[in-house]
Structure 1
Amino acid sequence: MQTKNTSHICLECNQEKNLSNWCKPCYSKHFQNDFNNWTSGDYKVDKFIQDSQLNANYSWKVIEWIPYDRFKDVKQIGRGGFGTIHYAKWIDGLIRGWDIENQQWKRRGEYEVALKKFDNLVNLNDALNEMAIHLKTNSRAYSNSIRFYGITQDPETHSYIMVLEYASDGNLREYLKINFNNINWFQKLQNLWDLSYKLLNIHELNIVHQDFHPGNILSSDFKNSVLQISDFGLSKLIGANSPEKKNIFGVLPFIAPEVLSGEEYTKAADVYSFGIIAHEIVTGFPPYHDVPHDKDLALKICNGLRPKIPFHTPKLITRMIMRCLDARVTHRPTFYQLVNELSKYYNDYRKYLKGKNEDSEIVIQIKKAEKFSVNPSHSLGSIWKSISRILVHWREELTNTTTITTTTPMNYKTHPEAIYTKLEELMKSTSTSSTEELTNTTTITTTTPMNYKTHPEAIYTKLEELMKSTSTSSTVASKLHVPNF
């Protein structure tokens, strides 16, 4: 006869808790008994919170109504099209279990959180949709997304606020900008595999993210590749009975060409976004950082423009990225295929670091890439070195200067019109041309090595913000199969 694990026995009902030490029957009852002691002021919000508490099988599937006065040291740390992000300390902290003696929840105590405030909310259903999808992605077994703890409300503006896990290391874009020279190929492969696996988990929930870019990849420990996905404001459940939005949203360089051309956003469009992110992880450069992010760039993307991949990048990685960026949607890999491929590369290289597997193809290619990075005089590097000497000589004669600065991921300058912004903002600022310009998407430009110079108009923000910042004529929205704003 199998005996019960006494460490997981609920002392109230004498039944065994699940592996996360959660007793759903008892805990649901405690939550329900407290329903009359709080309200958000809105029936839909109350119902959403209550349903999560009654149906949760694990602590990470529970959200709470948290009074705003239970936060301290609140300060703004970011801004987006939806509103603002604040840092705060949650005085009480997370629920850890039920205190039978005192008949109240045991809590972790003071805890750092991020507050996502919906200052510009027009429709509460949009916020609730984001919250529902975000909660669906929460998983302790493999942390796909930033943890969602609860909802609160600004007492002055009455804006609803999502209470989220605080990512102390910030987002991937800023991390790469500061630390790229210290990131080795083991960490790059780990990051690529980790992101592909988390997107696979999200896709298996029948969710498409629709706004996947480095600004939405957060971490409290980038060094150990603990990456989490955030911002599900544009995400949707596949097959959900919701009116289809015809507007194109997102950050322009990460939007798939078929979406720019007015086609439906699918899982394959998330794969395209992953390919652009993979390029940035591998090279350290934001996509199209040296050109304006405008309607001309959108047209070029639809006609085959892709970020340049340095020639010394491991060919297996180059091919993977190019497959993700294929204009033909059906030719892109799925995240299931990407996970299997990247898992092999990651494991092969990990074995090599332990003194094994030196003949693996990915190992050989990475060693060549590292050799080039250390001594670019090998291969084509000698050609560039000779050219550099000539340029230095010319420049000394013309300007009396003695050095030429090489653009790197650590010193690139962003073009002032390369705005990493929401697409709808950009479209408001540009002129109308024919739809055919955007729909000619049959080829992909082969990537070649080049020296990067940052265009002063390369600004990576949400497209809707960009469009507000520029002069309005007739909108490019018609070209993109999007109604005028």
Structure 2
Amino acid sequence: MAIHLKIYNESDAIRFTQDPETLSYMMVLKYAKDGNLREYLKINFNNNNWYQKLFNLLHLSLSLMYIHELDIVHQDFHPGNILSSNFKYSFQISDFGLSKLIGTNQNNPEKKNIVGVLPYIAPEVLSGDEEYTKAADVYSLGIIAYEIVTGFPPYPDIPHDKDLAMKICNGLRPKIPFHTPKLITRMIMRCWDARVTHRPTSKELRNELDKYIDDYSDYLNKRIKKESEIAIQIKKAEEFSANQESTNTTTTTITTPLNYQTHPQAIHTS
């Protein structure tokens, strides 16, 4: 509860109530009408253009930066813990039950326990070499960014077991489609770099994405004569997608859910 109070400010309207029978105290939070990010992407991904993807990536990095500036490590960062009433405008990172303040519980005998949802856990944590750190949260952000860009969850067609954990520790990562803008691909791959010190910070990601969305907005609004690199790459990605759709005999609408097979032992939310 202390971490929730540290993170959420008055605008998030946290209130407390009490069960009249048990006298237990409870927090009252805003209802997330759109549900979590995984549910939203499965149904609405085809309605998201590249501006919306950049906006969501920027907001995600900004939210994580705010948490990290409070010296908090989330430790359970995945799409099931990203909630919203309307993902087109904003969302909140939730579920800080496994989170910790940096510098606390150093003598906790359970500190090396691995917690979280397997595809989003950094390899250094899976291997037991390191504890959860801000860099481990950034790794999780990289996997979530892959989902925002592609619409697909990581490793959906295989069991999420010890074998997958070993493969992740040995370098397995989701496959980013080749037509994805290279600037975005490189950013995601830096986030899930096995070398912890090579990962960007959440603040660096925020700054990078802030520039991308500014440059792309200038292109959309015709405020500049020379196109930026991100605008050129997005235009190529959109042209490729348009060509794919024109050769696809299956009719797809903006409300058509993404079609993929999920293994019964594949788990993407907690």
TM (norm. structure 1) is: 0.51
Aligned residue for 2:9?
139
Aligned residue for 1:313?
180
Q: Pick from 121, 140, 164: which aligns with 1:273? A: 140
Contact 1:316 1:362 in 2 (8 A): yes
Q: Pick from 47, 51, 64: which aligns with 1:199? A: 64
Shift of 1:147: 4.8
Q: Pick from 242, 253, 256: which aligns with 2:119? A: 253
**Residues 404 and 339 from structure 1, CA distance in 2 versus in 1: closer, same or farther, beyond 3 angstroms?**
closer
User: Which of structures 1 and 2 has the larger relative contact order (alpha carbons within 8 angstroms, sep 6+)?
Assistant: 2
Q: Pick from 217, 240, 247: which aligns with 1:350? A: 217
1:387-412, Cα deviation, whole Å (9 max, x unpaired): x9xxxxxxxxxxxxxx8999x96122
Shift of 1:286: 0.5
**Is 1:359 the counterpart of 2:227 in the alignment?**
yes
Report the secondary structure of 2:176's partner residue: coil
**Is 1:373 the counterpart of 2:241 in the alignment?**
yes
Report the secondary structure of 1:375's partner residue: helix
1:317-344, Cα deviation, whole Å (9 max, x unpaired): 0000000000000000001110110000
1:112-154, Cα deviation, whole Å (9 max, x unpaired): xxxxxxxxxxxxxxxxxxx1001101135xx7xx653225337
Report the secondary structure of 1:211's partner residue: coil
Report the secondary structure of 2:85's partner residue: strand
Q: Write the distance in 1 (CA, Å) between the matches of 2:73 and 2:84.
A: 21
Shift of 1:413: 2.6
Shift of 1:241: 4.3
Aligned pairs for 1:274-313 (under 5 A) are 274-313=141-180
The percent identity for this pair of structures is 71
Supply the AA of the counterpart residue of 1:363.
A
Report the secondary structure of 1:180's partner residue: helix
Supply the AA of the counterpart residue of 2:4.
H
**Residues 180 and 152 from structure 1, CA distance in 2 versus in 1: closer, same or farther, beyond 3 angstroms?**
same
Supply the AA of the counterpart residue of 2:234.
I
Aligned residue for 1:411?
259
Contact 2:120 2:140 in 1 (8 A): yes
Supply the AA of the counterpart residue of 2:168.
I
Aligned residue for 2:28?
163
Q: Write the distance in 2 (CA, Å) between the matches of 1:333 and 1:461.
A: 25
Aligned residue for 1:229?
93
Supply the AA of the counterpart residue of 1:139.
N
1:443-469, Cα deviation, whole Å (9 max, x unpaired): xxxxxxxxxxxxxxxxx243xxxxxxx
Q: Write the distance in 2 (CA, Å) between the matches of 1:154 and 1:315.
A: 56
Contact 2:78 2:269 in 1 (8 A): no
Q: Write the distance in 1 (CA, Å) between the matches of 2:217 and 2:262.
A: 35
**Residues 153 and 275 from structure 1, CA distance in 2 versus in 1: closer, same or farther, beyond 3 angstroms?**
same
Supply the AA of the counterpart residue of 1:291.
I
Aligned length: 263
Supply the AA of the counterpart residue of 1:239.
G
Q: Write the distance in 2 (CA, Å) between the matches of 1:461 and 1:340.
A: 28
Q: Write the distance in 2 (CA, Å) between the matches of 1:414 and 1:155.
A: 42
Supply the AA of the counterpart residue of 1:411.
N
Aligned residues: CA RMSD: 2.4
**Residues 300 and 151 from structure 1, CA distance in 2 versus in 1: closer, same or farther, beyond 3 angstroms?**
farther
Q: Write the distance in 1 (CA, Å) between the matches of 2:32 and 2:199.
A: 31
Shift of 1:169: 1.4
Contact 2:71 2:101 in 1 (8 A): yes
Aligned residue for 2:191?
324
Q: Write the distance in 2 (CA, Å) between the matches of 1:294 and 1:266.
A: 23
Q: Write the distance in 1 (CA, Å) between the matches of 2:175 and 2:191.
A: 14
Tell me which structure has the larger Cα radius of gyration.
1
Supply the AA of the counterpart residue of 2:235.
K
TM (norm. structure 2) is: 0.90
1:416-464, Cα deviation, whole Å (9 max, x unpaired): 111x2xxxxxxxxxxxxxxxxxxxxxxxxxxxxxxxxxxxxxxx243xx
Pick which of 288-297 and 318-327 moved more.
Answer: 288-297
Gaps of 5+ in 1: 1-130, 379-384, 389-402, 421-459, 463-485
Contact 1:284 1:409 in 2 (8 A): no
Contact 1:283 1:409 in 2 (8 A): no
Contact 1:167 1:218 in 2 (8 A): yes
Contact 2:34 2:83 in 1 (8 A): yes
Report the secondary structure of 1:219's partner residue: strand
Contact 2:17 2:25 in 1 (8 A): yes
1:2-27, Cα deviation, whole Å (9 max, x unpaired): xxxxxxxxxxxxxxxxxxxxxxxxxx
Aligned residue for 2:104?
240
Aligned residue for 1:333?
200
